[in-house]
Amino acid sequence: MSIFSGFKDLLGQINRLDGSIYLKGKDFADVYAKNIALEEEIAARTKELEQANQTILTLNSVWDMMNSSQPLSSMLNKIVNILFNDMNYNYASILKIENENTKDAYFHIKAASQNKNVSKIYSFLGKLSDAYYFPYVENSIIAKSINERKIYSTPDIKGILSMFFPSLKEEQIKDIMTSINSKTCIIVPLHNGKDNFGCVVVASDREGLTDTETNFLSLFANQIELAITVAGLFEEVKKQAITDPLTGLYNRRYFEENIVKEAERSLRLKQPFSLISMDLDFLKKINDTFGHQYGDIAIKTISNVLKKEARSIDIPARIGGEEFNLLLPGVDSNGAAIAAERIRKSIENQVLETIGGITASIGVATFLEHSDRIDELTELADQAMYKAKLEGRNRVKIAEPQTDVNWQKTAIETFMDILAKKRIPVKDNIAKNIYQKLKDINNKEQDSTEILYSIVDIISQTYNQMYQPGTTKSKIILAVMLAKRLDFSKEEINKLKLAILLYDIGNIMIPEEIFNKKGPLTDEEKQIVRQHPVIAAREILKPISKIQDIIPIIESHHENWDGQGYPGKKSGIDIPVMSQIVLIVDSFYAMMQDRPYRHAYNIEDIISIIKQESGKRWNENLVEDFIEIIKKEVV
């Protein structure tokens, strides 16, 4: 081999080695590039997974809120804060359309995220976010999004700010734009079933709107819409629980809860409040002359006057039947008298079709001025209202200091006498408990009326284990409603209240094995049971001088209209009307509760039974009035 041939071979080997090295280098570069691309894809996928996880967590948070039955306002505020804090938007708010499809349509900011940028906006405006309103602009991107039910985005942040807050000046908008540092405004429509609710508005520092973000916002909007529906239902149920169905005013329960709170506040701040007690005049005459539907119209008319005349902090309530109360926080007797007279005139000026004019009798009492106890205050307002009726109706009377002994005090002294002299067989521990409750009434903050109700409940439960707490109070409320329909005087109604508290006390003398017997009673056992009115009237109560005028009511409370009752076989008008009221109220609640020998009846069956006994156990007119009350106040 020549030297040249050897060099040529060496050169070929070098070239082949160079080619191999080049190819290897190229492979390494390709692998490196692929690794870089793979890492970028992993990072992107990881980010997507993180976003998806955050989306799931966010949607789950909204779902948890729906299951918690939170009020709508609270739920909406939490939703915008989720968008702001968890989803990293620069701003989030929820707008609601009000008066849609009218020329007065507008948007109400129901909730808005709170940060320094938002604070700057409202520092310029001088208003809070949840109190701000702005016009509904038909050709705006917001209206378009809602009506088309489609998510829209726009880079025109300045235009959105100008539409939201038209009173902002140019330099203020520039200042806010610099602070927000957002590139896109996104509008997400919200609907409540078939109706438009409004929209979510968010500001983002990202340009445009990706498909992933659009999908998330669509899911989020669906959850919000469901949350709005659930919260709306919750608020409707809550409203129904505290309002009277006929008038839309607050009901008795809500009123009683709030007058206690107002009394606590009043005592703490040494600030008075006033109570207006009002009664529609001649409701029975309206019902008898024109029909009950016109009586309802008259009742609704008074409720509308109260709604119009009451301040936002006042509490107007329908207590029952034609009786209304109005709580006036922070108002003394002079201010309450002016308010009451204004209400009276407004009612008098109402002209109703068919009925004509209506009037109301009104009583006024002021806490810390007339009394510092709730039960006395309501009693005084009630007495003033009755005095207005006695003096000719359609007038306002201010409460006067009590000069006579009230029915609560009479009841307290009666029960203390019964317990002290052991007129009834009550266990020592129960007797001590009751006696202590009676002593506690001397505490100014105690409500003697509620204590009396609880005392009768406790005594009733000693011989009737199925007696439900709260029944005594319900009995008195129902009996008073019926008595007012019959135009009883205040004194007569007080006697009736005492009779309701005391009429059944003779049952405690009936042997337990007879009272709780599951099977039918023998004739001898029936005779023992029929003696309980006599025992109550003649053995337990007769020695107590303060209640002698109550005894005839109690003694006759099981006499039937047709003469087939007991113990005296009285009939018709020989039976005191109050005794008939006690009997029908007692029968109603007896049928509503379980007995050892039967289950409780439902309301429909009870009404049917009472109708069947009309003219037999009770006066027919009494039954008619009673059933009307039951249908309106209980059913």
Three-class secondary structure of residue 510 per DSSP: coil
What's the whole-number average pLDDT of the chain? 82
More confident residue, 553 or 22: 553
Residue 457 has pLDDT above 90, yes or no: no
Task: Pick the closest to residue 566 from 553, 556, 554, 580 (CA basis).
Answer: 556
Q: What per-residue confidence (pLDDT) applies to 580?
A: 96
Report the length, in residues, of the chain.
635
Q: 119: how many CB neighbours lie within 10 A of its CB?
A: 12
Task: Pick the closest to residue 606 from 623, 621, 581 (CA basis).
Answer: 623
Mean pLDDT value of segment 439-451: 66
pLDDT band at 61 (very low <50, low <70, confident <90, very high): low
Q: Which long-range contacts (CB under 8 A, 24 or more apart) does 558-561 make?
A: 558/530, 558/533, 558/583, 559/583, 560/616, 560/617, 560/618, 561/615, 561/616, 561/617, 561/618, 561/619
Which domains, ranges and CATH numbers included, belong to the chain? 72-241 (3.30.450.40), 252-398 (3.30.70.270), 409-633 (1.10.3210.10)
pLDDT band at 233 (very low <50, low <70, confident <90, very high): low
Percentage of the chain exceeding pLDDT 70: 82
Residue 289 has pLDDT above 50, yes or no: yes
Mean pLDDT value of segment 545-571: 90
Q: What per-residue confidence (pLDDT) applies to 129?
A: 43
Residue 575 has pLDDT above 90, yes or no: yes
Mean pLDDT value of segment 581-607: 90
Q: What per-residue confidence (pLDDT) applies to 616?
A: 94
| Chain segment 318-349, per-residue pLDDT in tens | 998 899 999 999 999 999 999 999 999 999 99
Three-class secondary structure of residue 319 per DSSP: strand
The tokens describing 514, both together, are: 């007879």
pLDDT band at 53 (very low <50, low <70, confident <90, very high): low
